[in-house]
A and B are shown apart, each in its own frame.
Chain A
Amino acid sequence: MGDSPDLDLISDLPQSIIESILTRLPIVEAVRTSILSSKWRYRWATLTHLAFDEKCVTSTNDRILVENKLINFITRALFLHQGPIHKFQLCTSFLTSCPDIDQWILFLSRKDIKELVLELDENEWIRVPSCLFNCKKLTRLELSRCELDPPSTFKGFSFLKSLKLYQVYVASDAIESVIISCPLLESLSLSYIDSLTLNIRSPNLKYLCLEGEFKDICLENTPLLIAMSVAMYMTEDIAEHMEQSSSCNFIKFLGGAPHLERLIGRIYFTKYLTVGDDPGRLPIKYINLKIIELYQVSFEDMKEILVVLRLITNSPNLKELQISSSSNTPAAMEATDLDFWEKECPSHCIFGRLKAVKMTEMSGVPHEMEFIKFLLENSPVLEVMSIAPCSFVTEGRLNMLIELVRFRRASPRAEILFIQN
């Protein structure tokens, strides 16, 4: 392992590799390589990816001191930097509202910035400066915990492919106009932005992630949507609004996404879809929809069951289905409309490609069992049906098993796995 002193192992590696190595060091260490030799004095300064957080400076209990040191560090580093900056990331809770952030973003807007990630403190709600909207080359923008107010002259980010807003204070129409003015947008993630009412018009959108309290969402133009993950929270306000609404949420949400391949719905998503008039026969089939995961489905609500059925019976190529129940209530146990399954349930319904079903948080209430029975009877290529009872249910497990064993299976290969832990 003899390293002779003349052997300069690292200095004569190509610049791209050096950059690759330096980028993977914490920025403060990358800057310190300036001391290695004269060749290295400003090698770090041409890095195109910069990531800052409070670990750049020595920590103390004095928050103001840390903040000042951090501001100094970032400003110095940017001042010495040469060449374009393609990726800039700042994640810290130590920065309270400061004009320096505005200056840094102005600086970045002149450096061809392509990817910008800002995660700030939740107590301070820094207002993102308007020069952010001059970063014409942005392809990716991630903002957490700040206030966003696009100027009226904003024409959009022509190259933006990915937008992620987390706990951002912004008006519904502002987001709508940002979305529609970014023609190349492929991935959109909106989390915990309160009470949004959104019409999403995004012709190239492929991935959509929504979490939070949404008043009203309409996917008006999302023809290329491939995957969607939605977690709808409810407030009294929203519940009231929903009760008065007659427009069909199912169509508003899923009517414009015929190429959907993956759908994940959490919290009150299925409930959200029940709102509005019955759409009747659906005009579209989700022929690419292969994976559906729905959580917190309320089996005591006939409307939610209908939503689930409508979804799966219009997805002829469904391969994997996961349903997590939230039905451990007395109302659920005493279900009275059980004749639905015999009389009204869509018959002649074959899930020709369904291979795996996973039911979790099951309590064994009548509608849950009927649903499982329905699936088993109509899934000729099913390989696994896995059932996990919810942890509160202890007494009813044997009864669940007894019922399960009786169900007819269309698939001779189907295994039923009862998961106990």
Chain B
Amino acid sequence: MDSLRIVPGREAKTATTQDTSNSFGLHDTLQYGPRSLAAEVSTNSNIKDRLENWEATQDNLKLQMHRQVFGLHMPMRLMMERKLASYNPHMPVLQQSNVHLDILMGRDETLDTADFMMPTSEMKQPLDIHADMEKKLRM
């Protein structure tokens, strides 16, 4: 964590927890259906890892540089401000936007595909409020 990595490195993944695991750590058949081979076999894809870890790596680089210049307190304060801004006491509803967090993360002036390609009125997802609240409160 003390390193100044510019781009995500290639990590050898050995143990992974599935996305479909329930609180026992096993595959949740009731929610996701029977187990499938396609979901369980994991192929090492360099470009996929690189793209997935890109933003986090750039963010870590900036925080590490701030730590070197300003002192140990700086990344701590920045993370604290982000945590405070992301506090959301409401139930997970469809439309959520957090301008304060966007500004802190530096993406208030950027547009991503999700921002203009998916009108939220057409995005009908099954509202599993119980599962969403469970995930939220456990964090």
Chains A and B form a bound pair: no
Q: Which residues of B contact A (CB under 8 A)?
A: none
A-to-B contact residues, CB < 8 Å? none
